[in-house]
């Protein structure tokens, strides 16, 4: 392979590997490299390499050695598949700059898995579990219907399948409506493709080198085909008309400025209309609906099942006691306080993450008067807006003209 014309400084060549042997172009690069960095698994390909072979982990030490080695000449880094697909490529580009890193990708594990499973991937979502803690996989799958997973030693197919199986059961979705494909040892000896439902996959064992494809086979209902915002009152199960009205709900969600990930508390959630819309808007957001009344708890669970909201969790009880074991919130909505507003505001404002937002909807005059002072007392920046809504039809019908009680929204920003 010809070297870049008039090359002034040594290059770092990042070479993707998708087979058990080096390609001819990779061998040509190694021919003018002073050293190679790779994993132990790829080291066996370098038995005839005359230069120094260095480990790629721990990464911090490897990056330092790469910088020193680059002062002496070209170096090579071997990586699996396409290094720019959840790989080391981003790190090397940030560390050494685009002008010094030359990338020669191979087919990624994602491409190999989808081709082996004969499954198109342009409509898939992608999620890497490598060293990133626990991930709530089901909300993304429910939203995208097709999901590619890069697993790691902590997150293996059998445990992921068990988690998916439990989640589907909780939402009333038959287990066989989810198909899991596990691709092991792609391009290597022992390559294997396994198909099955979550219940079938959780009973099996797999090699550490694997990726997964999850596909949800469910018939769409009207509430799943509409966009993430715009549920109507008639579509949300509620009691005796006790529900945050559509227009007010839209204003609350707008002022909350929901993050794509994080934690949202819906205190005094009622039927869970705010929780449902928030969970639909942001599948990566963990939503906790805190409600003390049994009838409303039943409504929340029914709505969670109807809209298949795996990221919505019911917390039975009365705030602030019910908040004690919840993770700190990024956003909070207070729809009801059960007479505990001062202690709720104190608890919430203390635990609210930096740049967090609290919104309270006030129906009574006493709450309108009390809440702004409480918010200000606890160091929040306060804004107040009152919403008046009237509904009518055309042609006008007196029986179809409705004027709703004004609602005051008090917003506190940390």
In whole angstroms, what is the distance from residue 309 CA to residue 142 CA?
8
CA atoms within 13 A of residue 3's CA, in its CB half-sphere: 15
DSSP letter for each residue of 335-394? S--TT-HHHHHHHHHHHPPTT-EEEEEE-SHHHHHHHHHHHHHTT-EEEEEEE--EE--S
Strands annotated E in 155-277: 178-184, 192-196, 210-216, 262-267
In whole angstroms, what is the distance from residue 246 CA to residue 244 CA?
7
pLDDT in tens, 125-176: 999 988 665 667 888 888 889 999 999 888 899 999 999 999 999 898 999 9
pLDDT in tens, 36-84: 999 998 998 898 899 999 999 999 999 999 999 999 999 999 999 999 9
Structural domains in the chain, sorted by start: 12-106 (3.40.1010.10), 110-216 (3.30.950.10), 222-232+240-413 (3.40.50.150)
Q: How far is CA 111 from the centre of its chain?
A: 22
pLDDT at 359 over 80: yes
pLDDT in tens, 216-232: 987 655 555 566 788 88
Please tell me what DSSP assigns to residue 2.
P
Residue 411, C-beta contacts closer than 8 angstroms, at least 6 positions apart: 255, 357, 358, 359, 382, 383, 384, 385
- The percentage of the chain sitting over the pLDDT mark of 70, rounded to a whole number, equals 94
Calculate the average pLDDT of the chain.
91
pLDDT at 105 over 80: yes
């Amino acid at each position: 392979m010809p070297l870049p014309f008039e090359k002034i400084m040594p290059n770092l060549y990042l070479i993707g590997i998708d087979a058990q042997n080096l390609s001819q172009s990779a061998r040509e690069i190694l021919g003018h490299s002073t050293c190679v960095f790779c994993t132990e698994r790829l080291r066996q390909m370098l038995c005839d390499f005359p230069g120094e072979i260095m480990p790629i982990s721990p990464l911090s030490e490897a990056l330092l050695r790469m910088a020193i080695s680059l002062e002496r000449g070209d170096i090579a880094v071997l990586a699996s598949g396409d290094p720019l697909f959840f790989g080391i490529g981003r790190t090397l580009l940030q560390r050494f700059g685009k002008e010094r890193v030359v990338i020669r990708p191979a087919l990624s594990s994602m491409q190999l898995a989808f081709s082996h499973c004969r499954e198109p991937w342009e409509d898939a979502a992608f999620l890497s579990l490598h060293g990133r803690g626990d991930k709530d996989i089901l909300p993304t799958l429910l939203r995208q219907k097709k999901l590619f997973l890069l697993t790691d030693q902590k997150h293996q197919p059998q445990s992921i399948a068990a988690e998916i199986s439990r989640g589907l059961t909780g939402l009333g979705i038959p287990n066989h409506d989810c198909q899991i494909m596990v691709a092991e040892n792609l391009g290597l000896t022992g390559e294997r493709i396994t198909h099955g439902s979550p219940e079938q996959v959780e009973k099996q064992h797999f090699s550490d080198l694997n990726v997964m494809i999850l596909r949800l086979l469910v018939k769409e209902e009207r509430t799943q085909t509409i966009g993430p915002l715009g549920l109507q009152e008639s579509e949300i199960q509620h009691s005796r008309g006790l529900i945050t009205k559509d227009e007010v709900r839209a204003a609350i969600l707008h002022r909350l400025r929901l993050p794509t990930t994080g934690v949202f508390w819906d205190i005094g959630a009622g039927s869970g209309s705010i929780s449902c819309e928030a969970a639909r808007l942001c599948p990566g957001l963990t939503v906790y609906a805190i409600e003390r009344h049994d009838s409303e708890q039943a409504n929340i669970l029914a709505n969670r099942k109807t809209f298949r909201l795996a990221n919505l969790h019911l917390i039975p009880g009365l705030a602030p006691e019910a908040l004690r074991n919840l993770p700190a919130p990024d956003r909070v909505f207070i729809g009801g306080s059960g007479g505990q507003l001062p202690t709720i505001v104190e608890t919430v404002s203390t635990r609210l993450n930096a740049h967090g937002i609290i919104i309270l909807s006030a129906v009574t005059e006493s709450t309108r008067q009390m809440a702004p002072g409480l918010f200000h007392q606890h160091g929040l920046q306060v804004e107040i807006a009152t919403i008046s809504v009237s509904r009518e039809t055309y042609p006008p019908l007196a029986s179809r003209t409705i004027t709703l009680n004004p609602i005051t929204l008090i917003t506190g920003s940390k």
